[in-house]
Copies of this chain bind each other. A is one copy, B any other.
Amino acid sequence: MQSFRQFIENYTPIPDEEWSIVSAAFQKHEFKKNELILREGEICRYFGFLEKGLLRFFVNKNGEDVTKFFTVAPYCFTSQYSFRHRVPAAENIETLEPCTAYLIGLDKADELLSLKHWADFTRKFVQEVQFHTEQLMMEAKTEDAGKRYLNLIEKYPQLIQRIPLRHLSSFLGIAPQSLSRIRKDFLKHSKKLT
């Protein structure tokens, strides 16, 4: 669980007294590959720290599976609106790999907010998520799929190998065939450069 403390300390230092309360409030869970850990329409009961593995957030839209985004360990995750307001989630979360996560329910999460450094961490973390989401939105608006694929490779070079092509193409909003073509062009181009 030390990786969770390290993760928090990327945002703000957390003194030992606070860390012992925080770490005692979370419970460790192991998930298998391809487990649906949240189903659309159910209430999301947990905020979690993903220590190991990879998650996919997706929605079902007119029978089509549309990928929202991925959470790559180490990172925190939840279906935020559902979790905070105890309403049915408008999204699914599934594991794409075996995952280790530390989870906390809403009541305990609310209690932790009285801890100064933890509250500071959650505020900064949500700000970061908000910034990333804004970037994704603007990329989708102003860049073509090829450029967005390059951005993804640049930011998460190893991720591309870990995500099935159909999810990557749905994340980029294009057909799997188009993504195959983009990948071929990219590989041809990278070979020219080396």
Contacts of A142 in B (CB 8 A): 59, 61, 66
The reply to whether A133 and B127 form a contact with Cβ atoms under 8 Å apart is no
What is the CA–CA distance of A80 and B123 in the complex, to the nearest angstrom? Answer: 12
Chain B: which residue is nearest A61 at the CB level? B142
Q: CB within 8 A of A119: which of B84, B119, B130?
A: B119
Chain B: which residue is nearest A143 at the CB level? B61
Copies of this chain assembled into the complex: 2
Is A186 on the interface with B (CB-CB < 8 A)? no
The reply to whether B68 and A138 form a contact with Cβ atoms under 8 Å apart is yes
Contacts of A59 in B (CB 8 A): 138, 142
Contacts of A120 in B (CB 8 A): 113
For chain A, the count of residues having a C-beta within 8 Å of the partner chain is 26
Query: Given A140-B141, A142-B66, is A123 in contact with B119 using a C-beta cutoff of 8 Å?
Result: yes
What is the CA–CA distance of A142 and B54 in the complex, to the nearest angstrom? Answer: 23
The reply to whether A137 and B133 form a contact with Cβ atoms under 8 Å apart is yes
The reply to whether B130 and A80 form a contact with Cβ atoms under 8 Å apart is yes
The reply to whether A134 and B68 form a contact with Cβ atoms under 8 Å apart is yes
Query: Given A66-B142, A173-B141, is A80 in contact with B127 using a C-beta cutoff of 8 Å?
Result: yes
Contacts of A66 in B (CB 8 A): 138, 141-142
Is A36 on the interface with B (CB-CB < 8 A)? no
Contacts of A61 in B (CB 8 A): 142
The reply to whether B119 and A81 form a contact with Cβ atoms under 8 Å apart is no
The reply to whether B137 and A136 form a contact with Cβ atoms under 8 Å apart is yes
Contacts of A140 in B (CB 8 A): 137, 140-141
